């Protein structure tokens, strides 16, 4: 798997955090249930899922890719698990379509203008009801 467009940003930890936030928001608004159980925190640079941050701490890219071998086994297993769930696929495809081409900085700037992050004290958990209502009103309209 080779990048077709060298200008496309790799999936960095920062970008993944914002995409997880948007995926959670869409899941809450569309299906009235969370996509994942972890809290989303309002950190300085936008929403963060601490367990994902901790797992990839110190790494820029979160997908380990080897030119000869492809994705690592953990990434392949995650991919297979996500593709086995229809709701996950709908949510993730929606996130990819609307947010995937944006840079991490663009996504950070977007989240900084949205009520859930703006109205939560730094380092506190962003309330899922706040995320749900914001996404129902402003994203899935």
Q: What is the rounded average pLDDT of the residues 62-81?
A: 66
- Would you say residue 135 has pLDDT above 50? yes
Cβ(10)–Cβ(16) under 8 Å?
no
Which pLDDT does position 85 carry in this prediction? Answer: 81
Q: Which of 43-47, 49-53, 72-76, 90-94 has the lowest mean pLDDT?
A: 72-76
Please determine, for residue 69, whether its predicted confidence score (pLDDT) is greater than 70.
no
């Amino acid at each position: 798997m080779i990048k077709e467009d060298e200008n496309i940003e790799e999936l960095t930890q920062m970008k993944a955090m914002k995409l997880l936030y948007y995926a959670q928001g869409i899941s809450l608004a569309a299906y009235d249930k969370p996509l994942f159980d972890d809290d989303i925190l309002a950190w300085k640079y936008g929403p963060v899922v601490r367990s994902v941050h901790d797992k990839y701490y110190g790494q820029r890219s979160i997908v380990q890719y080897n030119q000869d071998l492809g994705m690592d086994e953990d990434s392949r297993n995650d991919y297979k698990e996500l593709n086995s769930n229809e709701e996950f696929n709908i949510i993730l495809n929606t996130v990819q379509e609307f947010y995937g081409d944006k840079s991490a900085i663009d996504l950070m700037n977007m989240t900084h203008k949205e009520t859930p992050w703006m109205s939560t004290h730094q380092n506190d958990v962003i309330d899922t009801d706040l995320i749900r209502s914001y996404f129902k009103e402003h994203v899935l309209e």
